[in-house]
Structure 1
Amino acid sequence: MRQPASLPNLASLRAFEAVGRLQSFRAAGQELLITQSAVSHHIRNLETDLGIRLFIREARGIRFTPDGERYFRAVTEALSGIARATEQVRTAVRRGKQVLRLSVLPSFGRFWLAPRLPAWAKEHPEIELRIDPSLALSDVSQGECDLAIRYGIGPWPGCDGGLLVRERLSPVVSPAFAGTLPPAPTWEDLARAPRILNATTSDWEHWLETSAGKAWKGEDHHLTEYGLVVDTVLAGHGLAMGRLWLLSDLLRTQRLVAPLADVAAPPDFGYWLLKPRQPSNPAGQIFEEWLVRQIR
């Protein structure tokens, strides 16, 4: 590893971060359990080391200089990364396990990953998997998570991404709804049902263009998340565009039915595994290899 450039004193950086966050030398000293004069001493040393002014003192307090504000953002980000890494190591030591932080879409976690987690735990009891099911994309490049799984099309900025599986698409309905259809249903037979949509309609647009060859003219209902869409269809309240790989367990157990032809999603459109360009957690490679085996 390359030796880093000369770094400022860590105690001075901590004092600077506390003053910048609290906007008070006195409050920073109270938090750090040092005197206000000691805080001032740290800030002066840091300003001398950097060759810039960090704060401007005013009658009612202090404020950043432009240089100080930019440096504060960088220092805060760096110290937050150190804190996260430290907590991860401490937790792993306490529990005797490695910790792997995984960000996934709620629908992926629920319909595909959760049923397979017992197999993961049995194979790798030494790794604690911390799963964050969220629609928001955690910043892999900034260390908010070790790995992320997202649905869409690459490339993904700031990180390395690999396509895990390309989806296949087809409308899905509940068995009860399927029982109301003719033996060989057509698109027109389904088109009278309410269509349940999530935030994006790109799956529908691709399927209609590729398979049905016509626009949708029925009633639409919008929900915020794909898992809610599937729940609504399971309850028999309409049809949705099925991501057949994701819903394979529900289709295999006949809790959902796909009565029409399926089509491949557009090229490079599917589930992607995202990871830092310079991975630091060896457990990530172990999980990636396990994930690929499960998919194939």
Structure 2
Amino acid sequence: MDRLPPLRLLTTFEAVSRHGSMREAAARLNVTQPAISQSLKALEDHIGAPLIDRAVRPARLTEMGEILARAVRGGLGQITAAVENIRTLHNSGSGQVTVSCTLGMASYWLMPRLHTFYARHPDITVNVQAPATDMPVLAPGVDIALRYGTGGWKEGETHRLFTEQVCPVGAPDLVARLQATHTGLDCAPLIHVRSQNNQHWAGWEDYLRLRGISRHHMAGQSFNNYVQAAQAVLDGRGLMLGWRSITGSAVRDGALVPWPDGALDLGTAYFVTGAADLSNSGRAFLDWIKGVELTQQEASD
């Protein structure tokens, strides 16, 4: 650790690399341009390599400077995120709750319903985080995790929210056209969600195999998240596997229609898990979300 340059030198270097010039960095940091130049020279002396090519105008990063710039941006980003998590932890009892869920769940299920929570608890702020993985966890700074699966998580307090079913969905015109031409799922245009972080959701290959449908070509548009894929489906580019938490509202509104007799129960559901040491704000959110889907189910029964 003693070989690391001083943080002030790294932050100055990051500002220069981000803004593209020492003059702009000096203005943003509210220091003189000679002070910026001196800091860069001190950083180069500490590292023992040239980071700025001063032979060109405007000066630009050398290859070694580019390597350091990528590392500094990532490192400072992680430090910033850690500081925010610490602040969230420190303020967890002061009217804030942090919820972790997938981007699709946040966009299509949670956010459209949050106004009812705020109507009951206007003094509580809900911070929603969408991690890269499709299985959110109760990491430090996270009070509530909304996740899909079969349950069985050991940490915190877990409750079942609603059963998930998968069913192909598409734009009304597309589904009508496919049905009119007797085009089945063995030939229909498909929209895929494929990502290394999407490990817990069935794909078209799984669905067709479970339905006993043979298909020779699985080609189709691919996206790495359900938000982008859902927009492509709304635009009529193909069918996607629809989930209640993602496409349910679009189906209810008529923007999408399910494939006839296409629903498949995989024995999965959506669950909410609250941390063992929930604050009063976290407990209020947990109690609220446990009742959201129950109210809707009772209304439809």
TM-score (norm 2): 0.61
TM-score (norm 1): 0.62
Does the C-alpha gap of structure 1 residues 195 and 139 become closer, same or farther in structure 2, counting only changes over 3 Å? same
Aligned to 2:189: 194
Which runs of 4 or more aligned residues in structure 1 lie more than 6 Å from their structure 2 counterparts after TM superposition?
79-82
Aligned to 2:128: 131
Q: Which amino acid aligns with 2:278?
A: S
Cα distance in 1, alignment partners of residues 278 and 132 from structure 2? 24
Aligned to 2:269: 270
1:68-116 CA deviation, whole Å, 9 max, x = no partner? Answer: xxxxxxxxxxx99865432445xx3xxxxx1010111111111111221
Aligned ranges for residues 61-210 of structure 1 at < 5 Å? 84-89=88-93, 92=94, 98-136=95-133, 137=135, 139-140=137-138, 142-156=139-153, 158-182=155-179, 188-199=183-194, 200=198, 202-210=202-210
The answer on whether the counterparts of 2:168 and 2:263 sit within 8 Å (CA) in structure 1 is no
Aligned ranges for residues 248-263 of structure 1 at < 5 Å? 248-263=248-263
Secondary structure of the equivalent of 2:257?
coil
1:97-140 CA deviation, whole Å, 9 max, x = no partner? Answer: x1010111111111111221221111111211111133335541
Tell whether 2:210 aligns with 1:215.
Answer: no
Cα distance in 1, alignment partners of residues 245 and 107 from structure 2? 13
What residue ranges of structure 1 are gaps of 5+ in the alignment? 1-21, 29-59, 61-78, 93-97
**Cα drift, residue 289 of structure 1:** 2.0
Aligned to 1:15: none
Does the C-alpha gap of structure 1 residues 152 and 220 become closer, same or farther in structure 2, counting only changes over 3 Å? farther
**Cα drift, residue 275 of structure 1:** 2.5
Q: Which amino acid aligns with 1:110?
A: S
Secondary structure of the equivalent of 1:143?
coil
Comparing 229-238 with 280-289, greater Cα deviation is found at 280-289
Identity of aligned residues (%): 21
What residue ranges of structure 2 are gaps of 5+ in the alignment? 8-45, 47-82, 295-301
Q: Which amino acid aligns with 1:99?
A: Q
The answer on whether the counterparts of 2:96 and 2:126 sit within 8 Å (CA) in structure 1 is yes
The answer on whether the counterparts of 2:185 and 2:213 sit within 8 Å (CA) in structure 1 is no
Comparing 253-262 with 194-203, greater Cα deviation is found at 194-203
For the aligned residues, what is the CA RMSD? 3.3
Q: Which amino acid aligns with 1:192?
A: C
Does the C-alpha gap of structure 1 residues 178 and 84 become closer, same or farther in structure 2, counting only changes over 3 Å? closer
Q: How many residues align?
A: 214
